[in-house]
Amino acid sequence: MQQIDNAIYKRVFGISLPAVAGFLGLMMFDIVDIYWIEKMGTRAVAGVASAGFIVWALYSFMTITGAGCASLVSQFHGAGRRNRAWEAVNQSTWLSLFLSFAICLLFMPFIDRPFAWMGLEPDTAQMATEYFRIILYGFPLIFLDMLAGNIFNAYGDNRISNGIMFVCLLVNMVLDPILMFGWFGAPALGTAGAAWATVISHVLSLIMRVYLLRRRQYMPPLLRFLRIRTFYYWRIVKIGLPNAATGCIWSIVYPFLTRLITPFGMTPLSAVGICHRLESFPYFTSVALGIAMTSLAGYSVGSRETSKIDSILTAGLRVSSLVIVPFLVLFLVFPDWLMSFMTSDPELIAHGAEYLFIIGVFEIFMAWEMVVSGVFTGLGITYPTLFITVPFTVGRVPLAWFLAYYLEMGVTGIWWAISLSSLAKGIGLYLLYRYMKRQTSNFSDLSRWQKAAKLTAA
């Protein structure tokens, strides 16, 4: 058993470490953006942070095709069915285009409404709208770029994809100040310049990823994309929708929390925007481990080696608990020092340090949530997780109101509501996993659950 565990640990690290490197690139996109945006003042930071809540809600829709495609491709890869994996990629691509254009058409007429509803001051709302509009213009291409990254992850081969991410990060770093402040004769676009830099970088990433996916035969020849089929659509949506719903609800909850934060001023809201960038390091590290869980669990299902799934999860939980410790130390012991890297405003530092400390208390359970969710995605039975993630995510709002206003804890109560919900989701998903393990005889009989979700493998 020890020999099997060691092999699993190697595979977990082999997939997750390159994924962490790739997500580090995504984190640095945000860090670089916020570094330059902070130079425009706290209102600009608050505006982009508010737009970020809506942007992440839209990004959650990418999980519909991203998670669905990753699950099917990893299972078909494990079963040695390349043509079916290619067909899953083909159909995921067309479904991604349909969803992204539909979302753009839906949001464009009402692009400024969410920020007025959040209670932002007029100039802050204007900067948020400018940023959001450009991201929306590039949304279909960003959607496809994220899907391409998920395809690499499904094959457990993400090193080159991550190298592409770092190249595009360098492009973003160069373009940010040029487009925001009008360097070298370029127009000074303000917050819209940061959005343009992000979109251009994703387009460059998409071109390079598609080239390498085809070269490695992870996707079919481009001419085959002219043949539009839909027989995997429902399976893709059924797998990806619960993950997308969780992410979307998480993002939608934040505008409600913003309404609770803004009566205390723009500074706490700006602090949240900065802290989310710092919190993205442990978050995306955990997401990377979740990707490893999806790939390994999906491969085990495809190769009919489901007896290994419990060992895969155990390895994932142990590794995630270990790698989160350094972040816990930073958040709990050195939060002021971390904030000082992002801003010199004393009030911003104080609010941000308090947020980081409170979030850090239960951060390890956030990691557990990502790891267990990754296993469920690999199994292709994600819908039961909604009964855990949705209630506790939505529950942040009434709990935040109760703590902040009824108990008069102020913004401190809002931070505690966020932290406590992470605790509940981490424990709840782990208990759900144990229940599912018993119900499926150690995952050897998934047919009842897959049939309930209309996901019986072809």
Spell out the residues 6+ positions from residue 279 whose beta carbon is closer than 8 angstroms to its own: 356, 359
Phi-psi region of 148 (alpha: psi -120 to 50; beta: other; left: phi over 0): alpha
Per-residue DSSP letter, 402: I
Q: In this predicted structure, what is the pLDDT of residue 231? A: 82
Q: What is the pLDDT of residue 371?
A: 93
The pLDDT value recorded for residue 380 is 77
Q: Is 448 exposed, middle or buried (0-12, 13-18, 19+ CB in 10 A)?
A: exposed
What pLDDT does residue 454 have? 47
What pLDDT, on a 0 to 100 scale, did the predictor assign at position 450? 53
pLDDT of residue 169: 81
Distance CA(319)–CA(374), nearest Å, equals 14
Ranges of residues in the chain whose predicted pLDDT is under 70: 1-5, 15, 18-19, 21-27, 29-30, 441-458
Question: What pLDDT does residue 456 have?
Answer: 39
CB of 174 closer than 8 Å to CB of 29: no
For the chain, which residues make up each domain, given as ranges? 2-452
| Single pTM value for the model | 0.70
pLDDT of residue 424: 96
Residue 453 is predicted with a pLDDT of 47
pLDDT at 253: 85
Q: What integer pLDDT is reported at residue 117 of this predicted model?
A: 77
Instruction: Say what the pLDDT of residue 457 is.
Output: 38
Region of 159 (left: φ > 0; alpha: ψ -120 to 50; beta: rest) is alpha
